[in-house]
Amino acid sequence: MIAFVFPGQGSQYVGMGKDIAEKADGIFQDASKVLGFDILNLCINGPEGELNKTENTQPAILTVSYALLKEVESIGIKPAFVAGHSLGEYTAALCGGVFSFSDALKITKKRGILMQEAQPAGEGGMAAVLGLDEETLKNICESIENFYVDLANLNCPGQIVISGEKEGIERASLLAKEKGAKKVVPLQVSIPSHCKLMKSAAEKFKEFLLNFHFNDSSVPVVCNVDGIERKSAAEILEAFIKQLYSPVRWQDCVKSMISKGVDTFVEIGPGKVLSGLIRRIDSNVRIFNVDNLKDLEKLKEELK
């Protein structure tokens, strides 16, 4: 049984989408018309600073992932489940026909803008903590006085990301090291995602989403907020809103799909971050990543 998984913010790089562009020319052209700028030029040539702006990053990753998805679908491979990490959940929903590509672009661009506006630049932060369990790290976060910090991404065994106010992140990072964390890596992000500091963004986002039509998904979408599959448009919409201020439970998503019989994961989009995480969650499953046409040929040979 096959699952398609889609990467989120952080997987972008200058040059992504370059070799798929000719085949997917119409997709990039359509995206540029919706967004009002040349998305392909941004993906291929950058500059990196512009590509890394949240409001650009999100539709850019979505567009490249969607172009690659169309190629995977064209060789006849179909998923039993879909899931995405944070932003990637929107590509997963797009795969299930929850909304049109055009609407997905508008939604992810607005999501990026609202997330950026929710917290003044430099006041929030995130850090990856390696080698501590969820309970220990949760206790550390709760022990920080006067500053807010919480769990944001539960990625795989021994890798949890914390998010919150900058001072809170710094204090929690020191405590984590004292409690035995192997490593704490501050993330190069301008916003504290997936924590309560995004609550105001979620409220505005909910209002914005009322402008769009959502369909039930043709394939179960395994959602970040709890690792539970959803097909109903209303339930997926609710999960999107909650996801902004709730931890991404990626490990639970992967385990849930494996428990339902998934033994092959195909990561579709720039980079191969999710492939690495899935390997650490369960080394017995087959994993492919499709970031370019060479990867697509390999997938075709193995799965057709």
Active-site residue identified among 65, 193, 194, 246: 194
pLDDT at 134: 96
Rounded-to-integer distance, Cα 195 and Cα 146, Å: 16
149-156 and 159-165 beta bridge pairing: antiparallel
Mean pLDDT of 179-193: 91
Q: How remote is the C-alpha of 23 from its chain's centroid?
A: 25
Rounded distance between C-alpha atoms, residue 112 and residue 82, angstroms: 22
What is the mean predicted confidence (pLDDT) over 118-143?
A: 94
Instruction: Enumerate the domain spans of the chain.
Output: 2-118+196-303, 124-186
pLDDT-derived band at 194, boundaries 50, 70, 90: very high
What CA–CA distance (Å, rounded) separates 31 from 9?
Answer: 18
pLDDT of residue 190: 75
CATH 3.30.70.250 fits 124-186, yes or no: yes
pTM: 0.96
Whole-number percent of the chain with pLDDT over 70: 100
**In this predicted structure, what is the pLDDT of residue 177?**
97
86 flagged as catalytic: yes
Architecture of the 2-118+196-303 domain: 3-Layer(aba) Sandwich (3.40)
Q: What's the pLDDT score for residue 89?
A: 98
Give 156's pLDDT tier (boundaries 50, 70, 90).
very high
Of 11, 65, 85, 86, the catalytic one is 86
User: Is residue 120 very low, low, confident or very high in pLDDT (cuts 50, 70, 90)?
Assistant: confident
Which helix (H) or strand (E) segment holds residue 67: the answer is helix 54-74
Q: What does the pLDDT average to over 99-117? A: 97
- What's the rounded mean pLDDT across residues 155-183? 97
What's the confidence (pLDDT) of residue 122?
Answer: 81
Q: What is the pLDDT of residues 280-304, one digit of tens each?
A: 999 999 999 999 999 999 999 998 7
pLDDT at 87: 97
